[in-house]
Chain A
Amino acid sequence: GESVGLHLPTLSVQEGDNSIINCAYSNSASDYFIWYKQESGKGPQFIIDIRSNMDKRQGQRVTVLLNKTVKHLSLQIAATQPGDSAVYFCAETAWGDSSYKLIFGSGTRLLVRP
């Protein structure tokens, strides 16, 4: 079945270092991918997205890389800050049952050490 998963449940990084959060997806027909950040007690917040016709997209301090050959998605955060500590979810959009489905991974917790 369709699934989106993450390789690392918890990632601990030193403040100022770069962070890389990975995600694997199984539906090769998915054409849109999103990264969300969720802070404790809050709803998910959109970070960055990428469509399947791209392999890289950059935002402010964040970069998303898409490797369709191995169905792998990654989120890179440059110069990680304490405010980046949160749970990060990848999600894919797949067409099924006559509608788009947004399928979330289980999340990776990012801990930033001061």
Chain B
Amino acid sequence: NAGVTQTPKFHILKTGQSMTLQCAQDMNHGYLSWYRQDPGMGLRRIHYSVAAGITDKGEVPDGYNVSRSNTEDFPLRLESAAPSQTSVYFCASTSGLAEETQYFGPGTRLLVL
């Protein structure tokens, strides 16, 4: 199993451009989450999904959209990027509730100019 994969590894955007960060898992996990990691602030959850067809907002959802059409994929969409969205983004999966062990992907480093 590849676990949790993310693409791209690094991307540069201009303010106002749109972008989709890809996340895929092959562990048949139901629960997927997106986090952003900023210096000195730890990881903060953006959106999450408990199963295909179900998504919900995390603690910092503004400026981001997600969809979950199947179990494997959980893309994160930035419709109009802003410099404040410069960050490292991690996708994580777990088989059950968020309290169980989460497996993190390798991350996507995004720079918005």
Chain A residues near B (Cβ < 8 Å): 4, 31-32, 34, 41-46, 49, 89, 93, 99-102, 104-107
> Which of B4, B58, B104 has the most chain A CB atoms closer than 10 A to its own CB?
B104
Q: What is the CB-to-nearest-CB distance from A69 to chain B, in angstroms, rounded to a whole number?
A: 22
Please state if A107 and B42 are interface contacts (CB–CB under 8 Å): yes
User: What total of A-B pairs shows CB separation below 8 Å?
Assistant: 50
Chain B contacts to A: CB under 8 angstroms: 4, 33, 40-45, 48, 56, 58-59, 90, 92, 97-99, 101-107
Q: For A89, list chain B residues within 8 Å (CB).
A: 42-43
In this complex, what residue of B is CB-closest to A106? B42
Establish whether residues B104 and A43, one from each chain, have CB atoms under 8 Å apart when the complex forms. yes
Whether A104 lies near B43 (C-beta < 8 A) is yes
CA of A93 to CA of B43, assembled, Å = 13
B88 to chain A, nearest CB (A): 9
Main secondary structure of the interface of A (DSSP, over half): strand
- The answer to whether A43 and B107 have CB atoms under 8 Å apart is yes
* Minimum Cβ distance to chain A for residue B68 (Å): 15
A34 nearest in chain B by CB position: B101
Q: Which residue of chain A is the closest to B3 with respect to CB atoms?
A: A43
Q: Which residue of B lies closest to A102 (CB)?
A: B98
Contact A43 B105 (CB under 8 A): yes
Instruction: Report A27 CB to chain B, min CB distance, Å.
Output: 13
